[in-house]
Structure 1
Amino acid sequence: MYRLRLPAEPLRRYIENYWFVSHAPGEDVDLRVEVFVDARADLIFNFEASYRRVVIGGGVTEHDRSNLDAQRLVPIRILQHGRVRIVGVRFHLGGLAPFTRVRVAAWSGQTPSPERVFGDETRELERALRAEPDLAASGQMLDEFFLARLRLDRAQAAFERALSALVAGDGRAPVSLLAEVAASSPRQIERLFARGLGFPPKTVGRVLRFQSALRQLMSDPGVSLGEVAAAAGYFDQAHFVRDFRIFSGGVPRGYRGYYPPEGPADFAPNVVVFVQDAALATAETGPEPTPEGES
């Protein structure tokens, strides 16, 4: 069973959701998740069966312990069979940095242990989550852990302004504009992105354009590849197809109309397998968000 919970309100700018996968008593689970490139990170507490992490077009690694699957520029496939129990944390784009004092670039493309990223206290959190079957209680533990580690400073605020401008421009905003918005120099913008996201702005722009094209392609089966490429800001269709192969491991026509109409509007590609199975994907979002300005 796959369930989601929203984090506490102060964390929602940085953490998209907490996600839980579990098996019924006596049940073996066959889990297969396609994770396209989106430059986001997932913290994975894995409590039972090990899983295989397949880099599409690359190597295979076996994971029997918890880890941070950090921001990547390669698509991966997760395969897991047996008694599956996972507690996961899905970070927004650029959402990992406020919780760790290390430049996020140090983890790009890696799967470090949680304690290497968040400190030794993570071991106690993992023990508590392992012993707690209740999702609401697990969500509260995660809220307390991340609220205690949320650190915001001027550099983070400048990075967030620059990233917001890049996202608003669908990945096409020049570094000069990002620097103006963040009241920084172009060189400082490069450093801010290394600290806060692990990749330079131009690379993040490529990922954003790919994601935009992917969403349109999946949601509109009648759109042409040329139209998708133009709308996403690609120089031509050939550049679009090249980036699509790099970031998804497939070709665009294989994903035409693939995304279901009932999927969330802010769809993140790595949940495609789940949201297509209505019996599997159930959402538990916890308390409703408090309107801005209220407590």
Structure 2
Amino acid sequence: MPTLPRYIEVRPRPPLTPYVQCFWALTGQASPGLSHRVLPDGCLDILVDLGPQGRAEGDAPRLQIVGTMRQAEVVPLAAEVCLLGIRFRPGGAYPFLRLPLHELTGRQLSLELLWPREAREWEGRLWEAEGLQVRVALLEELLLRRLAPGLWDGVLAHAVGLIHMTRGQVPLQTLETVVGISPRQLERRFQATVGLPPKVLCRIARMRHAVELLECQPRLPGAQLALEAGYCDQAHLVHEFRTLTGLTPGAYAREQGAGFLQSGTVSGI
């Protein structure tokens, strides 16, 4: 079994709960050639690389925005990993970034391009901070200073909540009724504040439910998995699963069984 870094999630303080799903850390030694399959979840992340390579070269921590993903990405890991992240809820990053999030979808770029002054401050202070609790508290402080509450779209957040509560099974007509706008306006609003159309977010939510079922029951027959996850049939499940994760359900289960690192493992500080 390969050596896996430790993955930890930390809940945000109440003032940030509507916007931030969690802070997370990935730290430790990784076996040579180990990769990390990152699945789409409708979230946008800010990633801080505190790895020893940058420290040895005298570089500041690398801060990046990882836009909302449409499909999985396989990321190779360094031998010694030290990553810290902010995972925003779908739509939660908008009051901080203050730009249409579809411009960032599927992209990864330096935080300094959007926040030149804040990024430099974050780099210096995170460089000096020691320990996960101290770093998370620092990120919370910095985020609260950047927050523009007036940009929070509570009605759209309710629509996103319905998508997750129904595991992607809510009809778009219901979302249009909840938000009270036309289908075209609904899509534009989702694109701007979430970075994805509502239909794509529903597909991702359904896939994530299938992944949860598969991780609990790796030997679950494909037809039963399709039925329990809300797909029309097994062929529909396989097509959607391969499109969003890059693998068939069976191949995904085998990959996880072989020790492939996946962010489903959660623990606390």
Structure 1 ranges of 4+ moved more than 4 A: 27-31, 256-260
Per the TM alignment, residue 37 of structure 1 is displaced from its structure 2 partner at its CA by 2.1
Higher helix share: 2
Aligned to 1:11: 16
Change (3 A) 1:225 1:155: same
Work out which of the residue numbers 46, 49, 57 in structure 1 matches 2:49.
46
Work out which of the residue numbers 215, 219, 223 in structure 2 matches 1:218.
215
Change (3 A) 1:185 1:28: closer
Work out which of the residue numbers 245, 249, 257 in structure 2 matches 1:248.
245
Work out which of the residue numbers 8, 18, 25 in structure 2 matches 1:20.
25
Are residues 1:126 and 2:123 paired?
Answer: yes
C-alpha RMSD of the superposition: 2.8
Tell me how far apart the structure 2 counterparts of residues 205 and 4 of structure 1 sit (CA, whole Å): 24
Alignment coverage as a number of residue pairs? 254
Work out which of the residue numbers 186, 191, 205 in structure 1 matches 2:188.
191
Work out which of the residue numbers 28, 33, 38 in structure 2 matches 1:35.
38
Helix, strand or coil: the match of 2:174?
Answer: helix
Per the TM alignment, residue 49 of structure 1 is displaced from its structure 2 partner at its CA by 5.4
Equivalent AA in structure 1 for residue 47 of structure 2: I
Aligned to 1:101: 98
Change (3 A) 1:50 1:191: farther
Helix, strand or coil: the match of 1:66?
Answer: strand
Given that residues 256 and 262 in structure 2 are in contact (C-alpha distance below 8 angstroms), is that contact kept between their aligned partners in structure 1? no
Tell me how far apart the structure 2 counterparts of residues 48 and 117 of structure 1 sit (CA, whole Å): 23
Tell me how far apart the structure 1 counterparts of residues 180 and 131 of structure 2 sit (CA, whole Å): 45
Tell me how far apart the structure 1 counterparts of residues 74 and 153 of structure 2 sit (CA, whole Å): 32
Structure 1 unaligned spans of 5+: 52-63, 261-268, 276-280, 285-295
Per-residue CA deviation, residues 129-169 of structure 1 (Å, 9 max, x unaligned), is 01111322211111111112223347611211221222222
Helix, strand or coil: the match of 1:226?
Answer: helix
Equivalent AA in structure 2 for residue 193 of structure 1: F
Per the TM alignment, residue 202 of structure 1 is displaced from its structure 2 partner at its CA by 0.8
Tell me how far apart the structure 2 counterparts of residues 127 and 282 of structure 1 sit (CA, whole Å): 28
Q: Provide TM-score, normalisation by structure 1.
A: 0.76
Aligned to 1:160: 157
Change (3 A) 1:5 1:155: closer
Tell me how far apart the structure 1 counterparts of residues 22 and 125 of structure 2 sit (CA, whole Å): 19
